[in-house]
Amino acid sequence: MLYENFVEEIDAIDNGIAQAEGEPRYALTTTLSARVAHLNPCWNDPDQDTEAGFKRATELVGGEFMDRLDYYHHAWLPARALVEEAIRRRFEVPTVGAVLELPQGGCPWKEHVLALEQALALPRPLQLVLFPDRSGQWRVQSVPTGPHTFQSRLPLPEPWRGVRDEALSQLAGIPGCVFVHASGFIGGNRTREGALEMARRTLAQRHEEGTQSG
């Protein structure tokens, strides 16, 4: 994992391997490799000594490497364990195993969900994730379609999107609604029960749409 999320991009850049086919939509100019390159003397600097830049580059890369290693040890691996346990207990949430509940909010889950679905050979992909935020309110968020995309597997219903608070509660028929993002990828409710009901309604709409199209 440390190689895939730290070393691989440096190797690829050093070897001239493009990140994707076609013209990128925007330039990435603040990568670690780019920051190291900027430590070299400018072409027209009177002093072309690279030793000072090399020392700064070593400190920069070494610091980031150790920070990343510490993150995977103290945060990433514990999060994976929490997500795996939640997946194994997913049928305790009354949504036929389509919704994952993470009682410990703030846990990074997207990458783990996508990886564990394959590792555990889940028969059906997860659709939504429930978790509390720092204020004690609850969120319902769609699982993304991939690790590097903003597309959602199951966005919340279109009529809810961009609506807030009491107007949303009345529209959805669910007390305690707080918001639904304009893209539908996430919504909020003041309680777990309310967020769970938002998830149920979203799943029900998908089922109705599938029945009608069939």
- pLDDT value for 214: 56
Cut 0.85: pTM above it: no
Which strands make up the sheet holding 186-189, listed edge to edge?
A: 99-101, 128-132, 138-142, 186-189, 177-180
Per-residue model confidence (pLDDT) at position 16: 78
- Residues ≥6 apart with Cβ < 8 Å to 212: none
pLDDT at 69: 92
* H helices present in the chain, as ranges: 2, 8-14, 32-37, 51-71, 77-88, 110-119, 165-172, 192-213
pLDDT at 212 over 70: no
pLDDT on residue 64: 92
- Using CB atoms within 10 A of its CB, is residue 83 exposed (0-12), middle (13-18) or buried (19+)? buried
pLDDT of residue 1: 67
**Contacts for 54-58: CB closer than 8 Å, 24+ residues apart:** none
Q: Categorize the per-residue pLDDT at 213 as very low, low, confident or very high, splitting at 50, 70 and 90.
A: low
Stronger pLDDT, 18 or 87, i.e. the higher one: 87
pLDDT, mean over the chain? 91
pLDDT reported for residue 19: 77
pLDDT in tens, 50-84: 888 899 999 999 999 999 899 889 999 999 999 99
Which of these, 63, 91, 208, 195, lies nearest to 140 by C-alpha position?
195
Per-residue pLDDT reduced to its tens digit, 80-134: 999 999 999 999 998 889 999 999 888 999 999 999 999 999 999 999 999 999 9
- Residue 106 pLDDT: 83
For the stretch 188-202, pLDDT in tens is: 999 999 999 999 999
Which band of pLDDT confidence, cut at 50, 70 and 90, is reported for residue 26?
Answer: confident
Closest C-alpha to 127, from 191, 182, 207: 207
Q: Give tens-digit pLDDT for 137-168.
A: 999 999 999 988 889 999 999 999 999 999 99
Statement: residue 183 has pLDDT above 60: yes
- Identify the pLDDT of residue 48: 87
